Amino acid sequence: MKPNDPASEKGSAHSHVQNANSRQIAIALALTGAFLVAEVVGGIVFKSLALLSDAAHMFTDVAALTIALVAIKVGQRAADERRTFGYRRFEILAAAFNAVLLFGVAIYVLVEGVRRILEPEPVQSLGMLVVASLGLIANLISMRVLAGGKDKSLNVKGAYLEVWADMVGSIGVIGGAILIWITGWSWVDPAVAIGVGLWVLPRTWVLLRESTNVLLEGAPAGVAVVTLRKVIAETPGVAEVHDLHLWVSGADQPHCSVHIVVAEAVDSDSVRQEIAARLEADFDVHHVTVQTERTPCEVREALHP
Give 218-244 pLDDT, tens digit per residue. 888 778 899 999 999 999 999 999 999
Output the pLDDT for position 159: 73
Q: Return the CA Rg of the chain.
A: 25
Please tell me the pTM assigned to this model: 0.64
Q: Is pLDDT at 147 greater than 80 in this prediction?
A: no
For 76, phi then psi, to 5°, come to -80, -10
Distance CA 88, CA 249 (A): 7
Go through the domains of the chain in sequence order and give each one's CATH number: 6-215 (1.20.1510.10), 225-303 (3.30.70.1350)
Give 255-277 pLDDT, tens digit per residue. 899 999 998 888 999 999 999 99
Distance CA 181, CA 234 (A): 69
Interacting residues of 14 by C-beta distance below 8 A, sequence separation 6+: none
